[in-house]
Homo-oligomer: A and B are copies of this chain.
Amino acid sequence: MATVHLLRDDELSPQAQAVFADIRATRQTDFVNNFWRALAHDPAALKRTWESIKAIMGPGALDPKVKEMIYIAVSVAHGCPYCVHSHTASARAKGMSETEYQELLAIVGMASETNRLVTGLGVPIDDAYEVG
Chain A interface residues toward B at CB < 8 A:
1-6, 31, 33-35, 38-39, 41-42, 44-45, 48-49, 52-53, 55-57, 60-62, 66-67, 69-89, 97-126, 128-132
Q: Is the CB of B2 within 8 A of A122?
A: yes
Q: Which residues of B contact A74 (CB under 8 A)?
A: 73-74, 76-77, 107-108, 111-112, 115-116
Q: Is the CB of B83 within 8 A of A131?
A: no
Q: With A and B bound together, what is the CA distance between A21 and B105 in angstroms?
A: 24
The residue among A44, A78, A117 with the most chain B CB atoms within 10 A of its own CB is: A117
Q: Is the CB of A62 within 8 A of B103?
A: yes
Q: Is the CB of B116 within 8 A of A77?
A: yes
The residue among A39, A86, A129 with the most chain B CB atoms within 10 A of its own CB is: A129
Dominant secondary structure at the A interface: helix
Q: A42-B106, A66-B66 are in contact. Are A3 and B115 (CB under 8 A)?
A: no
Q: Is the CB of A75 within 8 A of B115?
A: yes
Closest to A48 in B: B52
Q: Which residues of B contact A31 (CB under 8 A)?
A: 128
Q: Is the CB of B82 within 8 A of A80?
A: no
Q: List 11 A-B contacts (CB under 8 A).
A: A1-B122, A2-B132, A3-B88, A5-B132, A38-B123, A42-B99, A52-B110, A56-B107, A74-B115, A80-B119, A85-B122
